[in-house]
Structure 1
Amino acid sequence: MSKIIYTHTDEAPLMATYSLLPIISAYAAKAGVELETSDISLAGRIIAQFPERLTDEQRGPDALAELGALAEQPEANIIKLPNISASVPQLKAAIAELQAQGYDLPDYPEAPATDEEKDIAARYDRVKGSAVNPVLRQGNSDRRAPGAVKAYARSHPHSMGAWSPDSKTDVATMGHDDFFSNEKSVTMPAADTLRIEHVATDGTVTVLKEKLPVLEGEVVDATFMSAAALDAFLAEQVEAARASGVLFSVHLKATMMKVSDPIIFGHAVKAYFKQVFDRYGDDLAAAGLKPDDGLGAIFAGLEELPNGAEIRAAFDQALAEGPAMAMVNSDKGITNLHVPSDVIVDASMPAMIRIGGHMWGPDGKEGDTLAVIPDSSYASVYKTVIDDCKANGALDPATMGTVPNVGLMAQKAEEYGSHDKTFKIAQAGTVRVVNQAGEALIEHEVQPGDIWRACQTKDAAIKNWIELAVSRARLSGMPAIFWLDEKRAHDAQLIAKIDAYLPTLDTEGLDLSILPPAAAAQKSLDRLRAGQDTISVTGNVLRDYLTDLFPILEVGTSAKMLSIVPLMAGGGLFETGAGGSAPKHVQQLVAENYLRWDSLGEFFALAASFEHLAQHEGNARAQVLADALDRATATFLENDRSPGRKLGTIDNRGSHFYLALYWAQELAAQQDDAELAAAFAPLAEKLAADEQTIVAELIAVQGSPVDLGGYYRPDDAKAAAVMRPSATFNAAIDAF
């Protein structure tokens, strides 16, 4: 029997799984396909780290490690739903919930001192941030808006905010003394084992990373951000926002860049509240209240301090006197600086651009915004889009083209593989990357507080990325632009490899070019406005940014993207969209028994997964399922069966019913497999006949709070009961 691994993740995607998985498991079984779940949720990852502390019933396998091993096998077929890339506050909350559920887990050690605490910290560090994606993504990324989604967006264009030429919205970035400007890069002439060390000004050598194995042809980068320059920059931006009367916002990726960006976030908190930290910084530090964790954690901890009310008043006064802060939730007073994982640059910037360059202010109204993106590596992309919208107005979803992406991400490529090689510098000196012969390949002079990082990109991953770009350009007929800046050290190494590998490939008749990110963005925008399509071929971080930016502008959301990772070993990883809105959806589910999560990404991933089985295992029925699912999804979109936005309309569960109905009807009507058609005909008839009853049962439960038994680790029985409330629908699927 063919097998698909369906990942058990977190938040809204997990809730949707309780409803959707029984449907697709029943349908897949008719084609000889088994769906097996694998728990890579934050809670599951935590539990897997401490088996010796747990009972037999509580222990769970290290599913992430198992899936990582599977991803390197040709038979891999994995559907990957969005998971929590945990910030420290999220990690602590998940630990506390599991402890309350009876799991004997240690607290997260803020400043590990003993060997035991260091071991605990190391285990938790394997869980937080981007723990999942680098393990599973053993291939490069192919992301694009499916034809059905583009057709729907053109015939039913989503709302776009108006842009004014007088808009004060802008992007501020350092441009010097940051990761971009300080980067150095080398291509390894032979396999080696490198060492990263810090040489203090007095000659003391501290080994930061003992062994860093590298392969021949591998690109190794290192860079740092100056803490002093960062502080000066942030102070300037706080004052600039105040002077121009715009909202102040900071846009980082504290979930994915789990070491560097929380530190940068903490600098932003201290810059905005400088007077508070000047006066009360020692009190806060003594209580373990760190700016890196955000205002939310600080405010919660103030309740335990004898002068907590006094300090809180000082924070409130700073908020009143400073520039107006962009808000995550104006009604609840949650600011841009409350939680480091709340404002994720790749989700927050496109949303701001889509509504006319605005974010929400503390008064609950939209306002022009100064978007502060400290590192200048990619900030120019957002500035280019903003400036283009000021000059030409909002893009038109009814006429604009599309910008699919081929992204370099295999084998922990580039910045997203830097976590175990990122360090906050303790004292002045030099950080060196040294080979086994004792030669320094890269050196940086650093000061206390500077953030230094290294990363690596394997030659095989780069070569595969170039091949995938050429393949997509040929299959699609679109021009492809490599977004690379020869002035950036790492990009210069990639350009050299492109120059070497492209002549070995069949590129006749293809339109392939290399442009720096700002110029590539402008050319893509010009073509978008003309209704033309352009493939963006990018590195790992820009892959993340652009596969939110362009889909949000084109089709209203990145959750509707088809995201395929052709694994280098021959298998397939099929990703289901972005999970940035997942927390808010769960909050609404708990309060109102209404889940707005749109599973369209799961539908597309499932169809691609079935198609992969058909192609690689010769399962003809899997192809029939895939083709029928594609047609059903087109009907689903045309009939607007995605979740509504308010009570009384169908939510995620209702959308799953309609997908099941249309899919069954397509399978019953198809003529490629008579036996399969006969199997689905009675189900199609029953679902159609019971449509009104099922929809009524699904809507009837809305409006009251529900108990899921947990946020990070819900109770399976309770969650399933909440997500499968229609007895009529359940009976039909379970009997089938």
Structure 2
Amino acid sequence: MAEHSTNATIVYTYTDEAPLLATYSFLPIVEAYAAAAGVDVESRDISLAGRILSQFPERLTDEQRIGDHLAELGDLATRPEANIIKLPNISASVPQLKAAVKELRDQGYDLPDYPESPSTDEERDVRARYDKVKGSAVNPVLREGNSDRRAPASVKNYAKAHPHRMGAWSSDSRTNVATMGEHDFRSNEKSVVLDADDTLRIEHVAADGTTTVLKEQVKVLAGEVVDATYMDVAALRRFLTEQVARAKADDVLFSAHLKATMMKVSDPIIFGHVVQAFFPTLFEQYGEQLAAAGISPNDGLGALLSAVDSLPEGEAIKAAVQQGLADGPKLAMVDSDRGITNLHVPSDVIIDASMPAMIRTSGHMWGPDGEEADTLAVIPDSSYAGVYQTVIDDCRAHGAFDPATMGSVPNVGLMAKAAEEYGSHDKTFEAPSAGTIRVVSSAGETLIEHDVQPGDVWRACQTKDEPIRDWVKLAVSRARASGSPAVFWLDETRAHDANVIAKVKEYLPEHDTDGLTIEILAPAEACAYSLERLRRGEDTISVTGNVLRDYNTDLFPILELGTSAKMLSVVPLMNGGGLFETGAGGSAPKHVQQLVKENYLRWDSLGEFFALVPSLELYAEQSGRAGATVLAGALDRATETFLNEDKSPTRRVGGIDNRGSHFFLALYWAQELANQTDDADLAARFAPLAERLAAEEQTIVDELNAVQGSPADIGGYYRPDPEKAAAVMRPSATFNEALASL
């Protein structure tokens, strides 16, 4: 057993949207049970609102200030005593950031406006602070280890016994992926491996020889893989124009799928080009007026329509939008009832959530008429688009997958220390003019360079050697533990992947691989191999880089389980300790809307239940407190009962929702603790609670269900009022009193 820490603590994170609301209901249960067993639990606020407020302490009152909890947890993640339970958080697009700032100002927080085009030192400072918050600001800070994400056996068994609904596929489905394949990030990529520690510089050299430093210092370590690439925007615009015409000619829905949250600099720009390509006449006629008013297509059609009311040409612009919708192909919808299109908000159609949902629903998205239809899914960069086309082709040939018989595709993901594309935000630039963008060593040697034209989107990213080595080790250990083949999804014809393959081949011999099947296949080929095994009911570990980790840990769970929220996600931190993630939050906004409308929260906290078990086990190692091990074992058994008794939230008002599912988990957990024989004192402590919850089950369920059906006031979307949110999420006085009795 590891050396015991006197300050061992489980840190439970407050995040956003549905996971945050669920925390108001679930965390009091966790705290009560943990306290009874002598386990310390603390919380930290890493919500979007909390992160915003932490950046402007000088503008807030003493009561309003909040510390930089994210930085605090980032430091903790590098230490062996780390034990963090991390719920899904908002990776904010600019429209979301602006909406959060407006809400906070309405709540009385003196925050500055988000400066679109900062021109003074003060505005540049404000913009820099906001830029720390937007996009994927949380995960790169906390993920000081690689990812081990899989469906627990209890969940997989439940999914087979109670298969979720899958839409039927037709062999004549016209759904396809459209991707560039040339002149994009994938094809323009160059990659180098550094021989020694260094500090690199990124600069733009204009056609007239003028040199502009884009980033003064990029610190790198020996063995680090450094990549750079660019999206040729002229080629992108041609491609997008062709796909709009193709969707119209084929009479299928047009949809764009990007990652405008994690790829917070590049993908909103690309999204803006999609908006312009879909509405060419609108921008030909009114582009100058929109730009002069500070209205950017990068923010989406929704922001544009909201902002044009203040313009003299507002009505004409709205008419031009309607004409564009009429002239173009049918546009896929996020919410057809409310007229919210695929192009309304860049953060609404996130590729890793939207593509699996489409594949699960017969290859369909929703059209403007409220009906499902075949779709042309436009994924401009070709790095990973082929994975989705492979799944679509497989479904067209073999029909929908059967959750009752299909295997599983767990994932080992390379993500430590902001690996790969998701760490590129601070090294992504729009080319200011024609010329060359280059990466230069401290000795003045040009390591990578690209010729660019105005508006081209250039980016560089880093992947450190230590995380790659750890990733290989984790892949082998998972293959050994599970007996499943492990497949590295790497393409030898791609510059970055070729360098990583060399490292994989170097580090694999450090481990005992006898009797294991370990392969290296290009992503589309690796996907086809995994799908073939999946249909036979066999498991295959996908060993992937950071972006495919994100994509695959939604794609396969959504097909296998109906959701990615039910995954066990463990991040063994490289310096010791653990980060335990609780699933994906792609559906979180819809759940909040339903709660506010009818006081019903459909969010499934199963991911939180799963994360808490290994967290408690780690706490026992860190602290030497055996009660934590007893809590963990009881919770594991209680979760299996919870699944077998089918106590996850139902889909609509009248059934149990998130709050009811928490009650049943608390009941089963108390019963397991009361009946266990490892700790007599703990059993005696929980026996009265177990009896009380069982005796008052109907009363508690009635109290929880009685509030459903009418609107709920939580006091804010991005920063709910704590008292209002707690009142909404803990409406059973009987249950609250029983918990307090502990």
2 CA distance for matches of 1:322 and 1:210?
44
**Greater Cα shift, 330-339 or 32-41:** 32-41
2 CA distance for matches of 1:272 and 1:683?
60
Match of 2:516 in 1: 510
Match of 1:686 in 2: 692
Match of 1:116 in 2: 122
1:174-573 matches, cutoff 5 A: 174-573=180-579
Q: 1:7 aligns with which of 7, 13, 33?
A: 13
Calculate the TM-score normalised by the size of structure 2: 0.99
CA contact (8 A) 2:146 2:415 kept: yes
2 CA distance for matches of 1:486 and 1:178?
17
Deviation at 1:396, TM superposition (A): 0.6
Identity rate of aligned residues, in percent? 74
Corresponding residue SS for 1:163: coil
**Greater Cα shift, 501-510 or 354-363:** 501-510
1 CA distance for matches of 2:160 and 2:624?
36
Deviation at 1:2, TM superposition (A): 3.8
2 CA distance for matches of 1:711 and 1:531?
42
Residue 69 (structure 2) pairs with residue 55 (structure 1) = no
Residue 78 (structure 2) pairs with residue 72 (structure 1) = yes
2 CA distance for matches of 1:553 and 1:611?
30
2 CA distance for matches of 1:115 and 1:159?
55
Deviation at 1:506, TM superposition (A): 1.3
Corresponding residue SS for 1:564: strand
Q: 2:590 aligns with which of 557, 560, 584?
A: 584
CA contact (8 A) 1:2 1:32 kept: no
**Greater Cα shift, 243-252 or 629-638:** 629-638
Residue 674 (structure 2) pairs with residue 703 (structure 1) = no
Question: For each residue in 1:512-562, what CA deviation from the matched residue of structure 2 results, as whole angstroms up to 9, or x when unmatched?
Answer: 010000000000000000110100000000000000000000011000000
Match of 2:651 in 1: 645
CA contact (8 A) 2:572 2:579 kept: yes
CA contact (8 A) 2:144 2:416 kept: yes
Deviation at 1:167, TM superposition (A): 0.2
**Greater Cα shift, 501-510 or 259-268:** 501-510
1:119-198 matches, cutoff 5 A: 119-198=125-204
Deviation at 1:676, TM superposition (A): 1.1
1:708-727 matches, cutoff 5 A: 708-727=714-733
Letter in 2 for 1:428: A
1 CA distance for matches of 2:124 and 2:622?
45
Q: 1:676 aligns with which of 676, 682, 692?
A: 682
Match of 2:102 in 1: 96
Letter in 1 for 2:204: H
Deviation at 1:623, TM superposition (A): 1.4
Deviation at 1:674, TM superposition (A): 1.4
Letter in 2 for 1:212: V
2 CA distance for matches of 1:608 and 1:551?
20
CA contact (8 A) 2:403 2:559 kept: yes
Question: For each residue in 1:619-647, what CA deviation from the matched residue of structure 2 results, as whole angstroms up to 9, or x when unmatched?
Answer: 32211111111111111111111111111
2 CA distance for matches of 1:393 and 1:400?
13
**Greater Cα shift, 707-716 or 358-367:** 707-716
Deviation at 1:617, TM superposition (A): 3.4
Match of 2:661 in 1: 655
Letter in 1 for 2:472: I
Deviation at 1:392, TM superposition (A): 0.5
Q: 1:41 aligns with which of 28, 47, 54?
A: 47
Letter in 2 for 1:716: P
Deviation at 1:432, TM superposition (A): 0.7
Letter in 1 for 2:402: D
CA contact (8 A) 2:488 2:519 kept: yes
2 CA distance for matches of 1:615 and 1:397?
37
CA contact (8 A) 2:166 2:361 kept: yes
1 CA distance for matches of 2:505 and 2:210?
42
1 CA distance for matches of 2:316 and 2:380?
31
**Greater Cα shift, 368-377 or 277-286:** 277-286
Letter in 2 for 1:28: A
CA contact (8 A) 2:103 2:716 kept: yes
Deviation at 1:615, TM superposition (A): 3.3
Deviation at 1:681, TM superposition (A): 0.7
Residue 740 (structure 2) pairs with residue 734 (structure 1) = yes
CA contact (8 A) 2:257 2:351 kept: yes
Q: Which 5+ residue runs of structure 1 have no aligned equivalent?
A: none
Letter in 1 for 2:366: W
Deviation at 1:587, TM superposition (A): 0.9
CA contact (8 A) 2:8 2:622 kept: no
Letter in 1 for 2:669: W
2 CA distance for matches of 1:122 and 1:695?
48
Q: Which 5+ residue runs of structure 2 have no aligned equivalent?
A: 1-6
1 CA distance for matches of 2:8 and 2:135?
33
2 CA distance for matches of 1:390 and 1:616?
51
Q: 1:665 aligns with which of 660, 665, 671?
A: 671
Corresponding residue SS for 1:331: helix
Deviation at 1:287, TM superposition (A): 1.4
2 CA distance for matches of 1:561 and 1:347?
15
CA contact (8 A) 2:254 2:377 kept: yes
2 CA distance for matches of 1:431 and 1:482?
32
Q: 1:632 aligns with which of 620, 638, 657?
A: 638
2 CA distance for matches of 1:433 and 1:617?
47
2 CA distance for matches of 1:90 and 1:498?
39
Deviation at 1:505, TM superposition (A): 1.4
CA contact (8 A) 2:654 2:708 kept: yes
